[in-house]
C-alpha cells in the first residue's frame, strides 16, 4: 500500500471531512427505528455505532462547550458523525495491517494522561471518577474506544513514515528559494537551517499521500443510517420533548 501511495499521489487535497461528506452518497436504510440505546443508529462498513456511543460523546462535548445555540448544536452533531466514521474507518484499516494494542500499552497510555493523575502519578480513584462522572462512560467502554484511537494513530504514523525527502530535493529547493530571496538575513536563515525547509516539503508530501489514501477509503466507504430517529436528529427536525 505504501509504495502505491507514494507512486500515485494526486494534487487534490482531500480533507477528512470529504471522506464522510455527502450523506446522499451513502447507502441509507430506514429499516427500523431504534428503541434501545444499545441499538445501532448507523453502520460503518458493516460495523455498528450505537445510540449510547454517540450520545455519550455528544453530551460530553455539550458540557465542555457550555451554552450552544441550536445551529451550533446541529453543527456539533454533524461534526461528531464525521468523527465516529473517521475513527471507525481508521480502526478497520489498522486491523487489516495487523495493528493491535496490547493491554499493557493501553495501561501505559492511560497512565500518561494528566487528567487521570494525582501529584504527577496515575491515580485509580481519579481515573474512575473522571470516567464515570465527567465522561459518563464506563472503564470498559472508554478503554475500548481508547484502543481504537491508538490503533488508528499507529496507522497514520506508518503512512507518514513512508514519506522521505532526499537531500538532493532539499538542496535544489533551497538553492531556488535563496535565489529569489532578497533579504540577506532570510538567506542566511535558510542556509543555517535547511531542515526547516525539509520539514516544510515533507509536510506537503504527507498531505498529498494522506489525501490519496483518504480518497481510496472514500471510494469503498459504506455508511448506513439505520435509525429513523437519528436521521431526524441529523436533519434538525424537532424531537419529542423539544
Average pLDDT, consecutive stretches of 10 residues, N- to C-terminus, the chain (242 residues): 40 36 40 59 91 86 83 89 89 90 95 94 94 88 91 87 88 90 88 89 87 85 90 76 54
Long-range pairs for 92-101: beta carbons < 8 A, 24 or more residues apart: 92/44, 92/45, 92/47, 93/152, 93/155, 93/217, 94/151, 94/152, 94/154, 94/155, 95/151, 97/1, 97/155, 97/158, 99/151, 99/154, 99/155, 100/151, 101/147, 101/150, 101/151, 101/154
Distance (Å, whole) CA 214 – CA 239: 34
Nearest Cα neighbor of 77 from 64, 62, 88, 87 is 62
Domain at 2-235, CATH class? mainly alpha
**pLDDT at residue 43 in the model:** 92
Q: Which grid coordinates belong to 221? A: 466507504
Give me the DSSP letters along 21-38. Answer: --GGGS-----B---STT
**pLDDT at residue 238 in the model:** 63
List Cβ neighbours of 228 (8 Å cut-off, separation of 6 or more): 30, 32, 33
**pLDDT at residue 121 in the model:** 94
Q: Compute φ and ψ for 239, nearest 5 degrees.
A: -105, 160
CA torsion, points 73, 79, 82, 86, in degrees to nearest 10?
-130
Distance (Å, whole) CA 181 – CA 204: 21
Angle (CA) 220 222 228, round 5°: 165
Q: In this structure, are residues 171 and 130 in contact, taking their beta carbons and an 8 Å threshold?
A: no
**pLDDT at residue 105 in the model:** 95
Torsion sign across C-alpha atoms 208, 213, 219, 221: negative
Coil, strand or helix: which one is 82? helix
Instruction: List the chain domain ranges.
Output: 2-235
**pLDDT at residue 30 in the model:** 43
Torsion sign across C-alpha atoms 203, 209, 215, 218: negative
Amino acid at each position: 500500500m505504501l509504495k502505491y501511495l507514494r507512486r500515485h499521489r494526486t494534487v487534490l487535497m482531500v480533507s477528512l471531512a470529504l471522506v464522510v461528506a455527502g450523506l446522499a452518497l451513502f447507502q441509507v436504510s430506514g429499516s427500523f427505528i431504534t428503541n434501545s440505546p444499545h441499538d445501532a443508529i448507523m453502520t460503518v462498513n458493516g460495523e455498528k455505532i450505537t445510540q449510547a456511543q454517540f450520545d455519550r460523546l455528544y453530551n460530553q462535548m455539550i458540557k465542555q462547550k457550555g451554552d450552544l445555540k441550536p445551529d451550533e448544536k446541529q453543527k456539533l452533531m454533524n461534526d461528531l458523525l464525521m468523527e465516529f466514521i473517521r475513527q471507525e474507518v481508521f480502526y478497520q484499516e489498522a486491523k487489516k495491517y495487523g495493528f493491535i494494542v496490547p493491554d499493557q500499552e493501553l495501561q501505559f497510555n492511560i497512565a500518561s494522561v494528566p487528567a487521570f493523575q494525582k501529584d504527577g502519578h496515575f491515580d485509580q480513584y481519579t481515573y474512575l471518577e473522571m470516567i464515570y462522572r465527567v465522561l459518563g462512560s464506563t472503564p470498559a467502554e472508554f478503554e475500548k474506544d481508547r484502543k481504537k484511537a491508538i490503533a488508528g494513530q499507529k496507522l497514520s504514523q506508518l503512512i507518514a513514515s513512508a514519506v522521505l525527502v532526499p537531500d538532493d530535493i532539499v538542496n535544489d529547493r533551497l538553492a531556488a528559494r535563496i535565489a529569489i530571496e532578497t533579504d540577506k538575513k532570510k538567506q542566511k536563515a535558510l542556509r543555517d537551517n535547511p531542515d526547516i525547509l525539509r520539514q516544510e516539503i515533507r509536510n506537503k508530501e504527507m498531505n498529498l499521500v494522506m489525501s490519496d489514501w483518504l480518497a481510496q477509503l472514500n471510494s469503498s466507504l459504506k455508511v448506513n443510517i439505520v435509525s429513523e430517529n437519528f436521521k431526524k436528529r441529523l436533519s434538525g427536525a424537532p424531537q419529542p420533548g423539544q
